[in-house]
Amino acid sequence: MTANAGQEAHRAAGEAARAATPPAALGAWAAAPDRPDPVALLERQAASRIPELVPVRYGRMAISPFTFLRGAALPMAADLCAGPRSGIVTQMCGDAHLANFGLFASPERDLLFDINDFDETLPGPFEFDLKRLAASLVVAGRTRGFETHDNRHIVHRAIRSYRDRMAGYATMRAIDVYYARVDVTGIMAYVNKHERALIEGTVKSTAHHDAVHELPKLTTVVDGERRLTEHPPTLMRWDEATQPIADSALAAYIATLEEDRRMLLDRYAVVDYALKVVGVGSVGLGAFIALLMGGTADDPLFLQLKQAEDSVYERYLGPSPEATHGERVVVGQRRLQAASDILLGWTVGEHGRHWYVRQHQDQKGSAVIETMTLGDLLTWGELCAWALARGHARSGEPATIAAYLGTDDAFEVAMAAFAEAYADQSERDHAALTAAIGSGRIKAESGV
């Protein structure tokens, strides 16, 4: 088969998928009579988590419908897998809400905009990521008090950004798609000058999120030695985290790195570690921060060791082909991101727990959703969709996806309809969670 014939076959596959499951079919959402109780799903998910931290997770999810949606990847996965699908598979982020995107530094120290969370990554229908992004945009817009037509416009702009970018990737050589990236220079050229303040502010704050700047924030000097400063319940020592366990996990992790990265880590020594509670959906899983020091007092390195369980989609789409869930996360991240952390790796620790490891606060920055203006959310949504399109094009077949999306606005209309209906569902589910807390069914810690 010639290259042109191959492209034609990919486009034909997308057109056939669109005929079999039109975009309008993907826009429908209504809770089935036998829909699982979302609170019960969260309770079952909590069974494998650190019991003392589960109330923290519920407390964070209860703050607003948006924070609930952030933590409710499992209920939404159950809903998406019960509905229609395009049949077009790519590597999913799996948790593509708008707070899981941001800026970070490439190995060359260029600032890139990309996906930054891969705990739920798995091969699956490309539109699942777009549905989660679209729903998060509407829920965030409602949280900010924006009008219904504005929220709909935000989704239309984001999905059109994805469609336009995917159409472009479909015409590019595969190697050029692989090298494509969403960098700050390209963003500034793309974003309207009236909407650049958000990006400029995020770029400025990102420059101060590195190990040197974090050193006085996260550590103190005790008896002449640097130690992590405890701030319970978000940063604290944990009885189960013993020195042998930490050393064993890090030693096994290092073996998954390339040789030059192993040489780099040989220059550092672990001096302290602590449990650090991060995010919303992952609260209750093990998440440790390790402080390593080089040969001088101004040469710190922070590593984050994060526990990985099965993706929320695996129970519906089948198991991951990777041997461990830490490896699943790392493989998904490398497939989707333009440039991944040089110290990204995985390991299996005590009691068979799976982990992945990456640098902590290596020039990473994200926007504060709660302070976004309408223009900010429009711009952020477009950038999130751009990054998703690049990741999906790199890990899937862009010509097939582009052919499914077509040249009209049918897919945008469908995603906006789904997002509004699912935002209603998220508000009902959030109310169910707060009612469960109020009745004493579950315990939540507020204010954390």
Task: Give the other-Cβ count within 10 Å of 148's Cβ.
Answer: 11
Q: What is the mean pLDDT of residues 132-155?
A: 97
pLDDT at residue 156, as a whole number: 98
Q: Could you tell me how far CA 210 lies from the centroid of its own chain?
A: 20
Distance, CA of 38 to CA of 382 (rounded, Å): 30
- What distance in Å separates the CA atoms of residue 270 and residue 272, rounded to the nearest whole number? 6
Q: For residue 368, name the pLDDT band (cuts at 50, 70, 90).
A: confident
**437 φ, ψ (degrees, to nearest 5):** -70, -45
- The pLDDT mean for the chain works out to 91
For 314-336, the pLDDT digits (tens) are: 999 999 999 999 999 999 999 99
pLDDT at 185 over 90: no
- Give the model's confidence band at 71: pLDDT under 50 very low, under 70 low, under 90 confident, else very high: very high
Average pLDDT (171-200) is: 86
CA angle 424, 428, 431 (to 5 degrees): 140
pLDDT range class, residue 240, cuts 50, 70, 90: low
Q: Does 239 score more than 80 pLDDT?
A: no
Q: Identify which has the larger pLDDT, 447 or 259.
A: 259
| Between 206 and 353, the higher pLDDT residue | 353
Dihedral-angle region of residue 97 (phi above 0 means left; psi in -120 to 50 means alpha; beta otherwise): beta
Q: What is the pLDDT of residues 415-432, one digit of tens each?
A: 999 999 999 999 999 999
Name the residue ranges covered by the structural domains of the chain: 3-206+367-439, 211-364
**Residue carrying structure tokens 């219904």:** 148
**CA–CA separation, 46 vs 306, rounded Å?**
16
Amino acid of residue 362? D
Residues 6 or more apart whose CB falls under 8 angstroms from that of 302 comprise: 211, 214, 218, 289, 290, 291, 292, 359, 360, 361
Mean pLDDT (whole number) for 300-308: 92
Name the token pair of 403.
């052919």
* For range 182-209, the mean pLDDT: 79
pLDDT exceeds cutoff 70 at 265: yes
What confidence score (pLDDT) does residue 111 get? 86
pLDDT at 243 over 80: no
Residue 309 has pLDDT above 70, yes or no: yes
Query: Across residues 88-92, what is the average pLDDT?
Result: 98
